[in-house]
């Protein structure tokens, strides 16, 4: 039974859950510290932004962070609290250049977890962290050792519980000013007046004492307290309609109020040494709130809107007028406050940090059918909503930039010279010795023409001369600052050169519209050898014999008018190939190149596709074979061969750059993490990437990563997405929120957009009536219409008076000729939460019922084409569906999972087969196979359920014949999963890893795995046996979360599970654990009823950490295995294969 799984994160969390700043690395320099899920990022704050210093992960999702000071440390430490109420205190050791764990522990009590956000504050007088995580309790965690006179004298980092009478602590802050050792607490019931109470923490008796005279009533919508810094002190109470200041002295007139329009403040920060507070709201608007003071007393409050940013979850003042905006709902950013008159500001963006979260839906598709998956996510909320393209790609690590406007092309001459052409001129730069970033510009260099743009330039064979081609001539000059003109060729009849290609011995130019001229280059002459006329020439490529290995020199030309490629042999320009392109757009660039000893002809087309063919030369003719057409981008400009890591690769420039690589004689296409790159050149062992305004100097990463591209949809938030294989189009359900400025009410406008899956241009839009929005979508095919795909859309029609009485519709669209046509609409008595194609039909979740499509005849009159019928009403709210064979899997809001089976096919009918008797609040569900299922719940777990029909236990079957599902194991993901989808990314380097590994270690590992992990008699195996033990046996699917993380769950064999479980245990023992938190506690499955260890699940992220271990630790892991004949490279290859 396939109940063993490995969970691996492909893209870590990107949503910023909390942040702070302090002198963590150096006592005199502040750091910005950001938490994203379980990852901590430490940045150095600079005058113009931030720079990543270090990042690491702990075993837990971080819910709160506090800076604190330990007695024996000059720098500050950080206190981290996880969602599971575990904490750790970390410091930076400058001598060892590493993060060290000062202490860790867990907050435990029998009390109920609070329904409010977990809050932490620092009591500065006693240097104690106070935590509000449970109803009726505060926990004190001392950061300093006691004085030896109290019972807490030796209890540094030991939490202790303190009872309070406050069961609903909405907000808690540490006070400044005269109440420096006190805290203010906001409490109260929803929709009732709230109360601000003041408490003092007594370290000696470990209790909090209320200060009853310092209690203030505030209005009902108050939700946040903000501590006012020294020397003013007091507290701001933030409501939706009123912001009030309280100095908590209860002196007459001490309370000041400011009435505001309906606003939900989500983040805040006081500017340093200021009485001005920056507020951010749920629409991304930023305000500066100013406390007017006289004689250190607040006499008034004013507020002004200063701009708009991403929706903030946290705001940090970085100094120098910079603010960090951390967001969970959109991209995080750094903005600059630009002061103007009367202490007001405007804002300007400085930098943006991409955030995929929250991902509410996604699709995976293979556009070209070549096995390379593209992922499109519906990310962000409200105005931050967008589509995100997620692709396997190559990273570019930038070292420095050179800003030059109007760039056109760039070349490198030798190791230290750059030639740059702009729209107006040619620029020559030379790098200083051993310092490529120190570049000197030459106003004159030899006899190069610098007041014109250069078409191409290169050294001659002896590297003593340079060939420069401009629109007016081809010039041969000496390579010296004071060099002379050696030779020049000028086109006849005042023609202009439009295209040119030069190498060390040859030059081919196109003059006028289609005159092709070949010139031979020697040390002191340019000799025209041949001229031929063509209808037009769009692009040229030179392929000398020392590169193509054929013994002949060739030039390849592409023509627009005839959409044709010709290969001509030099020097006579004799044709050896004429190939007509099957494309409505002509060639943009051509290239002949040899990859892994295989010669290829590559043609870049104007629509962003690339045609690749193997080429062979026989009897003075060229023959193409194994042709393949692949979409690489919407706008591509050129192809540049380059070497990286000893391998020949091709860089395709354009809006979405791509790198082409050959692995085991197969071509792979990888996106680059930069956009709008239009030329490249090698330089000083680096690669130069040219954008519109600058040159980026750096190198490509050796490994592939996931890269993101943002597609905005006119301020519409995408919430559902489907891909049509037949039409290669995307169907996207969106919401646009329109706020009534008079009453603050928000109107929802739902739309269905049809997008091109490559360009993402909107082709058609269907707008729903007001307050009707898309809730679910699916593509369906029917046997009676074999060549068509139909889009089924489920909606919710909002009832403003009673949300429990919301209705819905199912809309059926035919997508043809890149338009969507509404075929039929069916109104149903509830929200259509989920739709799935099933057995030549469609099933739908409608509130607590499952509906089945009974009739689909689009040729009938309108109103008679589609019919749905309720089949089963067994759920509280059926939220999600999955289908497999003749079974349907249903996830319920409260009642876990149920399995339905088909009782009749035409018309479709279902019956209940099995249920999970344990309650669980579900978010998503997925088939592993017909008897094994995986679900995700609102406690951020995944768990496995199984159905074994052959086990006829009396207690498993009730009187109705409904079986009970059994729990087989669970695993704590740590983030809310919104959906599962079949399929996964495949990194191309994994293929070579598997190949090499099998060649070198297949038989040995097979025998060892068989002997070590199985008690069965020895049998003879082949390559497929070992493959089935280290790769997914039945199922592999992808999940997404609200924090922006993307991961995969793979089903593996039992033998493979036990083998890797031993490796995982050994890694835990040998690897460093920053934070000191317990991995088993972190990954244990925790439901509402019980908690179990991560049984039958492996932590792919932990297994991947083996690759970062040092050689000694790797060897210790290997030696801990029952058989230690493995090499470290063997284990690495196994792990890479497992988690790919």
Q: Which CATH number characterizes residue 26's domain? A: 2.40.10
* 283 in the same domain as 238: no
Other Cβ atoms less than 10 A from the Cβ of 744: the count is 11
* Tens of pLDDT, residues 673-683: 778 899 999 88
Over 50: is that where the pLDDT of 130 sits?
yes
Instruction: Tell the residue number behind the tokens 């950001």, with chain if given.
Output: 34
Q: Is the pLDDT of residue 1013 over 60?
A: no
| 40 lies in some domain | yes
Distance between alpha carbon 1016 and the CA centroid of its chain, in Å?
44
In this structure, are 744 and 888 located in the same domain?
yes
Is residue 68 within 8 Å of 111, Cβ to Cβ? no
Q: Which pLDDT score, from 0 to 100, does residue 1095 have?
A: 82
Number of Cβ atoms within 10 Å of the Cβ of 408: 17
Return the SS3 of 54.
strand
Q: How far apart are CA 32 and CA 49, in angstroms?
A: 10
CA angle 190/191/192 to nearest 5° reads 90
Could you tell me if residue 609 is inside a domain? no
* Domain containing residue 892: 374-385+712-917
Single out the residue in 106, 141, 172 at which a domain terminates: 106
Task: Identify the weakest region by mean pLDDT among 215-224, 467-476, 829-838.
Answer: 215-224
Instruction: Name which of 246, 310, 252, 322 is nearest 282 in CA terms.
Output: 310
**pLDDT tens, 534-578?**
999 999 999 998 888 888 999 999 998 888 999 999 999 999 999
Q: Is the pLDDT of residue 23 over 50?
A: yes
Find how far residue 798's CA is from the centre of its chain: 32
Domain identity same for 228 and 276: no
Q: Which of 212-216, 717-721, 1042-1046 has the lowest average pLDDT?
A: 212-216
Cis, peptide link before residue 907, omega less than 30° from 0? yes
Do residues 124 and 209 share a domain? yes
- Sorted by sequence, the CB contacts under 8 Å of residue 21 that are 6+ apart come out as 30, 31, 32, 33, 45, 67, 316, 317, 318
User: 781-813: per-residue pLDDT in tens?
Assistant: 999 998 889 999 999 998 888 888 899 999 999
Going by C-alpha positions, the residue among 970, 887, 899, 932 that lies closest to residue 2 is 932
Side by side, the strands of the sheet bearing 474-478 are: 454-459, 465-470, 474-478, 485-489
Confidence bin at 997 (pLDDT 50/70/90): very low
In the numeric block, which tokens belong to residue 665? 């004689």
The CATH code of the domain that includes 147 is 2.130.10.10
Q: What is the mean pLDDT of residues 5-14?
A: 93
Q: Is the dihedral of CA 990, 991, 996, 1001 positive or negative?
A: positive
- Give the integer Cα–Cα distance in Å for 236 and 275: 12
Same domain, 52 and 123: no
Which tops the pLDDT comparison, 1012 or 1057?
1057
Domain boundary among 902, 917, 932: 917
- Same-domain status, 1027 and 1132: yes
888 within a domain of the structure (yes/no): yes
Domain count of the fold of the chain = 5
- Joined together, the tokens standing for residue 417 give 């010279």
- On whether both 911 and 791 belong to a single domain, the answer is yes
Residues 58 and 139 in one domain: no
Q: Are residues 907 and 815 in the same domain?
A: yes
Give the Cα separation of 963 and 957 in Å (integer): 5
Least confident of 391-405, 502-516, 556-570, 586-600: 391-405
- Residue 523 in any domain: the answer is no
Structure tokens at 320: 């120098």
Give 207-217 pLDDT, tens digit per residue.
888 888 788 88
Residue 536 lies in a domain: no
pLDDT digit string (tens) for 1054-1087?
A: 888 888 999 999 999 988 889 999 999 999 998 7
CA 1041 to chain CA centroid, nearest Å? 11
Does residue 870 fall inside a structural domain? yes
Domain boundary among 51, 80, 106: 106
Contacts of 944 (CB under 8 A, 6+ apart): 3, 5, 928, 932, 933, 934, 967, 968, 969, 970, 1096
Residue with tokens 């990954």: 1083
CA angle, 693 then 696 then 698, to 5°: 175
Is 6 part of a structural domain of the chain? no
- Please give the pLDDT value at position 147: 46
| Model confidence at 693: pLDDT above 60 | yes
Sheet strand arrangement including 1097-1099 = 977-982, 1036-1041, 1046-1052, 4-11, 1097-1099
Q: What is the mean pLDDT of residues 61-76?
A: 90
Q: Render pLDDT for 575-611 as a digit per residue (tens, 0 to 9).
A: 999 999 887 788 999 999 999 889 999 999 988 889 9
On whether both 123 and 33 belong to a single domain, the answer is no
pLDDT tens for each residue of 278-311 = 999 999 999 999 999 988 888 999 999 999 999 9
* Stated pTM of the model: 0.84
User: Within this chain, do residues 246 and 271 fall inside the same structural domain, yes or no?
Assistant: no
Q: Which pLDDT belongs to residue 154? A: 60
User: What confidence score (pLDDT) does residue 512 get?
Assistant: 86
Residue 284 near residue 383, CB atoms below 8 Å: yes
Confidence of residue 71 (pLDDT cuts 50, 70, 90): confident
Q: Quote the mean pLDDT of the chain.
A: 86
User: Do 728 and 849 lie in a common domain?
Assistant: yes
> Would you say residue 254 lies in a domain?
yes
Distance CA 544, CA 641 (A): 14
């Amino acid at each position: 039974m396939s109940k063993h799984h490995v969970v691996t994160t492909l893209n870590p969390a990107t949503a910023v859950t909390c942040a702070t700043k302090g002198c963590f690395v150096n006592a005199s320099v502040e750091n910005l510290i950001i938490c994203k899920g379980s990852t901590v990022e430490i940045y150095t704050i600079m005058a113009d932004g931030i720079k990543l210093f270090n990042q690491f992960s702990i075993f837990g999702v971080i819910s709160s962070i506090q800076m604190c000071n330990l007695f024996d440390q000059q720098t500050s430490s950080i206190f981290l609290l996880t969602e599971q109420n575990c904490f750790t205190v970390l410091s930076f050791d400058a001598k060892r250049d590493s993060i060290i764990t000062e202490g860790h522990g867990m907050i435990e009590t029998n009390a109920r977890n609070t329904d409010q956000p977990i809050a932490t504050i620092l009591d500065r007088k006693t240097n104690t962290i106070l935590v509000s995580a449970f109803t009726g309790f505060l926990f004190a965690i001392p950061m300093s050792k006691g004085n030896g006179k109290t019972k807490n004298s030796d209890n540094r980092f030991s939490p202790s519980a303190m009872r309070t009478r406050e069961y609903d602590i909405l907000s808690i802050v540490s006070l400044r000013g005269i109440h420096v050792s006190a805290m203010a607490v906001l409490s109260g019931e929803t929709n009732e007046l709230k109360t601000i109470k003041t408490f003092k923490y007594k370290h000696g008796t470990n209790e909090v004492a209320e200060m009853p005279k310092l209690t203030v009533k505030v209005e009902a919508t108050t939700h946040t307290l903000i501590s006012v810094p020294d020397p003013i002190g007091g507290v701001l109470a933030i409501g939706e309609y009123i912001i009030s200041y309280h100095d908590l002295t209860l002196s007459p007139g001490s309370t000041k109020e400011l009435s505001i329009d309906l606003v939900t403040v989500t983040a805040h920060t006081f500017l340093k040494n200021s009485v001005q507070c920056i507020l951010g709201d749920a629409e991304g608007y930023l305000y500066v709130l100013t406390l007017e003071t006289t004689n250190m007393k607040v006499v008034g409050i004013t507020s002004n809107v200063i701009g708009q940013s991403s929706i903030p979850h946290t705001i940090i003042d970085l100094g120098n007028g910079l603010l960090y905006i951390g967001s969970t709902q959109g991209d995080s950013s750094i903005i600059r406050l630009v002061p103007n008159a009367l202490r007001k500001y405007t804002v300007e963006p400085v930098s943006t940090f991409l955030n995929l979260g929250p991902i509410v839906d996604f699709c995976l598709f293979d556009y070209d059918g070549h096995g390379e998956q593209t992922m499109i996510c519906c990310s962000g909320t409200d105005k931050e909503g967008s589509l995100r393209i997620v692709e396997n790609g190559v990273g570019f690590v930038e070292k420095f930039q050179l800003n030059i406007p109007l760039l056109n092309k760039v070349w490198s001459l030798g190791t230290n010279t750059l030639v740059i052409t702009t729209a107006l001129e040619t620029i020559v730069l030379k790098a200083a010795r051993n310092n490529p970033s120190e570049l000197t510009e030459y106003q004159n260099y030899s006899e190069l023409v610098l007041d014109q743009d250069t078409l191409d330039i290169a050294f001659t064979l002896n590297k003593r001369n340079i060939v420069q081609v401009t629109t007016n001539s081809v010039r041969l000059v000496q390579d010296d600052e004071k060099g002379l003109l050696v030779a020049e060729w000028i086109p006849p009849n005042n023609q202009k050169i439009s295209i040119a290609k030069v190498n060390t011995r040859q030059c081919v130019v196109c003059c006028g519209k289609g005159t092709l001229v070949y010139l031979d280059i020697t040390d002191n002459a340019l000799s025209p050898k041949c001229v031929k006329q063509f209808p037009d020439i769009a692009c040229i490529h030179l392929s000398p014999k020392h590169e193509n290995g054929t013994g002949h020199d060739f030039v390849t030309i592409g023509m627009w008018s005839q959409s044709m490629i010709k290969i001509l042999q030099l020097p006579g320009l004799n044709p050896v190939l004429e190939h007509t392109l099957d494309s409505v757009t002509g060639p943009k660039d051509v290239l002949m190149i040899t990859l892994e000893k295989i010669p290829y002809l590559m043609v870049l087309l104007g629509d962003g596709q690339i045609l690749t063919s193997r080429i062979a030369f026989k009897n003075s003719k060229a023959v193409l074979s194994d042709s393949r057409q692949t979409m690489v981008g919407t706008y591509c400009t050129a192809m540049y061969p380059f070497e990286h890591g000893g391998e020949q690769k091709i860089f395709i420039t354009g809006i979405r750059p791509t790198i082409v690589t050959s692995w085991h004689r197969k071509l792979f296409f990888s996106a680059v993490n930069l956009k709008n790159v239009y030329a490249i050149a090698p330089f000083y062992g680096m690669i130069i990437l040219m954008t519109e305004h600058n040159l980026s100097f750096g190198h490509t990463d050796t490994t592939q990563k996931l890269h993101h591209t943002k597609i905005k949809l006119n301020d519409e938030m995408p919430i559902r997405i489907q891909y049509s294989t037949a039409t290669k189009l995307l169907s996207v359900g969106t919401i646009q929120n329109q706020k009534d400025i008079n009453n603050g009410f928000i109107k929802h406008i739902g739309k269905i957009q049809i997008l091109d899956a490559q360009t993402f241009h909107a082709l058609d839009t269907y707008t729903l009536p007001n307050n009707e929005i898309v809730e679910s979508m699916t593509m369906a095919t029917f046997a009676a219409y074999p060549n068509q795909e139909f889009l089924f859309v489920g909606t919710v029609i909002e009832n403003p008076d009673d949300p429990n009485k919301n209705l819905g519709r199912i809309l059926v669209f035919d997508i043809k000729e890149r338009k969507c046509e509404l075929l039929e609409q069916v109104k149903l008595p509830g929200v259509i939460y989920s739709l799935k194609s099933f057995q030549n039909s469609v099933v739908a979740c409608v509130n607590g019922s499952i509906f089945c499509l009974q009739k689909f005849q689009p040729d009938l009159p309108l109103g008679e084409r589609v019919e749905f019928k309720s089949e089963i009403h067994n759920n509280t709210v059926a939220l999600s569906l999955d289908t497999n064979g003749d079974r349907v899997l249903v996830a319920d809001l409260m009642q876990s999972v149920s399995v339905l089976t088909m009782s009749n096919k035409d018309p479709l009918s279902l019956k209940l087969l099995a249920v999970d008797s344990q309650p669980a609040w579900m978010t998503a569900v997925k088939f592993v196979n017909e008897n094994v299922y995986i679900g995700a719940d609102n406690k951020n777990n995944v768990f496995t359920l199984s159905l074994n029909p052959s086990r006829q236990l009396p207690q498993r079957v009730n009187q109705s014949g409904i079986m009970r599902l059994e729990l087989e194991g669970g695993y704590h993901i740590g983030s809310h999963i919104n959906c599962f989808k079949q399929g996964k990314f495949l990194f191309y380097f994994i293929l070579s890893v598997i190949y090499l590994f099998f060649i070198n270690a297949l038989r040995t590992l097979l025998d060892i795995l068989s002997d070590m992990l199985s008690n069965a008699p020895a049998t003879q195996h082949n390559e497929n046996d070992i493959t089935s033990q280290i790769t997914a046996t039945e199922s592999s699917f992808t999940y997404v979360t609200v924090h922006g993380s993307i991961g995969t769950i793979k089903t593996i064999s039992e033998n493979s599970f036990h083998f890797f479980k031993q490796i995982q245990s050994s890694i835990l023992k040998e690897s460093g654990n920053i934070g000191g938190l317990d991995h088993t506690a972190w990954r244990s499955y925790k439901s509402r009823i019980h908690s179990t260890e991560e049984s039958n699940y492996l932590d792919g992220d932990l297994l991947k950490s083996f690759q970062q271990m040092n050689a000694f630790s790797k060897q210790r892991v290997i030696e801990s295995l029952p058989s230690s004949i493995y090499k470290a490279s063997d284990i690495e290859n196994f792990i890479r294969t497992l988690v790919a």
